[in-house]
Amino acid sequence: MSRSVQIGLAAFAAFLACIPLANWMIGHVGTVCVPNGPCLVPVAPGLMAPSGVLTIGVALVLRDVVQRCLGLRAGLAAVVLGTGLSALVAPGALVLASGVAFALSELADCAVYTPLQRRRLVLAVVASSCVGLVVDSVVFLTLAFGSLEFLGGQIVGKLWAVLFAVPLVRLLRRVAPTPA
């Protein structure tokens, strides 16, 4: 098994693990837990976000890695499995919001990443993740809480996770120089 396939399979497993972790975190991890709302973490001075944002930011990048190493079909299979898993593990009140936001954001990520990946991998990952994190944030907050109060924090929190992954994506170019 090639190194690229090994990395792709590890990214697939990590991608799927991000989903229950994000759903668990939103109700259990934070510096403040809002009654009948999310647990919040600071993502910048004066800016709070539901704690699952950090994990979902990582998931957006991992989906790109899956597609780079295993191909578009594997990337789309990850989205389908991830959406189902999201609906299964989300708290009752968040099932619809979690599943719909996850599916739409990952499909938006894929739509931006796919045409860019051959020419500019890092740009493809950053641009697709930015589109995905905005879609995820708007859809999730609207469906889950009927408010975009934490939109800025959601975007900043997910963006931190994406920026943290950029050096790892640069290394990926050496392992998987061309898309599967």
In the chain, the N- to C-terminal Cα span, in Å, equals 14
Q: What is the pTM of this model?
A: 0.85
Share of the chain above pLDDT 90, in %: 48
15 near 59, Cβ under 8 Å? Answer: yes
pLDDT of residue 161: 87
pLDDT at 176 over 90: no
169 near 68, Cβ under 8 Å? Answer: no
- Distance, CA of 47 to CA of 150 (rounded, Å): 8
Q: pLDDT tens across 71-90, in order?
A: 999 999 998 898 888 878 77
